[in-house]
Amino acid sequence: MKHYRLTAALCAALMLTAAVPFMPMMETASIAVHAADMKEGYYNYTVDADGNATITKYTGKGGDVDIPSTIGGYPVTEIGGVAFYNCTSLTSVTIPEGVTTIGAGAFRTCTSLPSVTIPESVTEIGAGAFEGCRDLPSVTIPAGVTTIGNDAFQGCTSLTSVTIPGGVTTIGEYVFSGCTNLTAATILEGVTEVGRCMFWDCENLTSVTIPKSVTVIKYKAFVDCTSLTSIEIPASVTTIGEAAFSFCNSLTSIEIPASVTEIGQGAFSCCNSLTSVTIPEGVTSIGMSTFSSCRSLTSLTIPASVTTIGSSAFSNCPDLTLYVYKDSTAHQYAEKNKIPYVLIGEAMPPEDDAPALGDVSGDGEIDASDASDILVASTEQAVGHDTGLTEDQIKAADVNKDDKFDAVDASYILVYSTMKGTGKNVTFEELTAADA
């Protein structure tokens, strides 16, 4: 009897020992089946441990497609990466409510897709999700989306307008680059960055609305937007990144807000229609080649707060005059690089539009013609004739401020004009003081 009981106990122990690895193996096998591709109709899919299905591949013939909300009895929550990749016969697609993620490259190069319905449940549009969908004219991004990945709509050449909802907190690189027919874009409140190369080569983009939540306009955000004529940068922006607006050839003016402290390299390079810019007090750095090849740029005001100016910042701007503060970094930069400049507060027209000191003709230039006007007028005055000068012109002619105008004033103007032509800027006060 004892032998029987011992044998029974040993057998029970062996059975318990054998059962230990057996249970987890059953669970592992069950998970493995769910993780592997399964198939129903025209769809391959997987199921995760929570019982949610991901469409991994579409095998149908295209046309108008309504993606099912459930498959194999499981709710569809994700359109997987490259699930419809290069499905060139797809003419419309409706993504069901309940889907939260459109994976990377999910509809990439579906070149005949003119219509897509994205449900409110979607929170993430993956990298390159609709890249190269060249027949897609419009898309509505739901309010629940928080993430738009790199290249999401790159090369959608038929896309004409887009609105980015306020819930988006992450926008990748090149999102709308190459959307050559995009004419208007609105970024809703909440977005903090205009992403790297976001609108690169959107050659028909004429209107962009940037919200006050944006603090950074990143690298090449609007490069080659050749139809962009103006853009309002909100007062929240602190950084304008490298080449952010380069080659925006139709941009005629830009107002940089006082919040900006840094303007990156080449930020406005090759903006050939840009005529004048005022850089606000508070900016500390102007990067290399920032305004290079802005061939129509005639006036640029630089505050004393700027302490760093990169090389070639204003190269190939043939008609540019810098307005700078005396002894500032910009003043020293202009002298070193032989850029014409005017010291702010000196030789500037009064508020009543009277000619500046020395500018007798009132044409905005102080040159030999002003000296000639003085000589003619003083000669007429000497023989008792009318000088032909207004009261304001007489004040402008008296450059040495001795209460008369004569050949001495004319000579000072000639010296002033000659020195300016060689890149040496002086004031009439300095000239007359030197002769005193």
Query: Per residue in 206-236, pLDDT tens?
Result: 989 999 999 999 999 999 999 999 889 999 9
Phi (first) and psi of residue 24, to 5 degrees: -65, -30
Q: How many CB atoms lie within 10 A of CB 122?
A: 21
What pLDDT score does 346 carry? 58
In a shared domain, residues 213 and 338: yes
What pLDDT score does 436 carry? 66
Query: Which residues form the domain of 263?
Result: 205-345
In a shared domain, residues 380 and 336: no
Instruction: With a cut of 80, say whether residue 183 has pLDDT above it.
Output: yes
38-40 and 43-47 beta bridge pairing: antiparallel
58 assigned to some structural domain: yes
In a shared domain, residues 153 and 254: no
In a shared domain, residues 107 and 214: no
Instruction: With a cut of 90, say whether residue 315 has pLDDT above it.
Output: yes
Nearest to 288 by CA among 269, 307, 304, 260: 269
Nearest to 161 by CA among 144, 179, 145, 178: 179
Q: What is the tally of structural domains in the chain?
A: 3
What pLDDT score does 354 carry? 64
What pLDDT score does 311 carry? 93
What pLDDT score does 32 carry? 35
Name residue 211's amino acid: P
Q: Are 252 and 274 in contact (CB under 8 A)?
A: yes
Higher pLDDT residue, 35 or 66?
Answer: 66
In a shared domain, residues 336 and 425: no
Sign of CA dihedral 432, 304, 294, 266: positive
Instruction: With a cut of 60, say whether residue 180 has pLDDT above it.
Output: yes
| Rounded average pLDDT over 42-49 | 97
In a shared domain, residues 209 and 335: yes
CA-CA distance, 434 to 429, in Å (whole number)?
Answer: 9
112 assigned to some structural domain: yes
Domain edge (last residue) among 128, 159, 190: 159
402 assigned to some structural domain: yes
43-47 and 53-58 beta bridge pairing: antiparallel
Query: Per residue in 193-203, pLDDT tens?
Result: 899 999 999 99
Phi (first) and psi of residue 71, to 5 degrees: -150, 130
Give me 337's structure tokens. Answer: 């690089």
The least confident of 158-167, 257-266, 339-348 is 339-348
315 assigned to some structural domain: yes
**How does residue 244 score in pLDDT terms, banded at 50, 70 and 90?**
very high
Query: Percent of the chain having pLDDT more than 90?
Result: 69
| Rounded average pLDDT over 45-73 | 97
Higher pLDDT residue, 6 or 303?
Answer: 303
CA-CA distance, 310 to 287, in Å (whole number)?
Answer: 5
CA-CA distance, 236 to 267, in Å (whole number)?
Answer: 18
In a shared domain, residues 256 and 336: yes
CA-CA distance, 149 to 303, in Å (whole number)?
Answer: 39
Q: Are 331 and 307 in contact (CB under 8 A)?
A: no
Instruction: With a cut of 50, say whether residue 29 has pLDDT above it.
Output: no
**How does residue 26 score in pLDDT terms, banded at 50, 70 and 90?**
very low
155 assigned to some structural domain: yes
Domain edge (last residue) among 159, 186, 216: 159
Name residue 297's amino acid: L
The 3-state secondary structure of the chain reads CHHHHHHHHHHHHHHHHHHHHHHHHHHHHHHHHHHCCEEECCEEEEECCCCCEEEEEECCCCEEEECCCEECCEEEEEECCCCCCCCCCEEEEECCCCCCEECCCCCCCCCCCCCEECCCCCCEECCCCCCCCCCCCECCCCCCCCEECCCCCCCCCCCCEEEECCCCCEECCCCCCCCCCCCEEEECCCCCEECCCCCCCCCCCCEEECCCCCCEECCCCCCCCCCCCCCECCCCCCEECCCCCCCCCCCCEEECCCCCCEECCCCCCCCCCCCEEECCCCCCEECCCCCCCCCCCCEEECCCCCCEECCCCCCCCCCCEEEECCCCHHHHHHHHCCCCEEECCCCCCCCCCCCCCCCCCCCCCCCHHHHHHHHHHHHHHHCCCCCCCCHHHHHHHCCCCCCCCCHHHHHHHHHHHHHHHCCCCCCHHHHHHHHC
What pLDDT score does 253 carry? 85
Give me 423's structure tokens. Answer: 């890149």
In a shared domain, residues 285 and 398: no
125 assigned to some structural domain: yes
In a shared domain, residues 68 and 154: yes
198 assigned to some structural domain: no
Phi (first) and psi of residue 57, to 5 degrees: -160, 140
Buried b / exposed e over 245-260, threshold 16 CB at 10 Å, is: bbbbbebeebebeebb
Q: How many CB atoms lie within 10 A of CB 7?
A: 10
What pLDDT score does 17 carry? 40
CATH assignment of the domain containing 58: 3.80.10.10
In a shared domain, residues 147 and 233: no
Q: C-alpha distances in angstroms, 272 versus 252, 312, 315?
A: 8, 16, 13
In a shared domain, residues 276 and 209: yes
16 assigned to some structural domain: no
What pLDDT score does 25 carry? 33
Domain edge (last residue) among 313, 345, 377: 345
What pLDDT score does 353 carry? 59
What pLDDT score does 350 carry? 43
Give me 381's structure tokens. Answer: 């005055």
Which residues lie below 8 Å from residue 403, measured CB to CB, with a gap of 6+?
Answer: none
- Mean per-residue pLDDT over the chain, rounded: 88
Instruction: With a cut of 60, say whether residue 408 has pLDDT above it.
Output: yes
In a shared domain, residues 407 and 321: no
Cross-strand partners of 6: none
Q: Are 187 and 214 in contact (CB under 8 A)?
A: yes
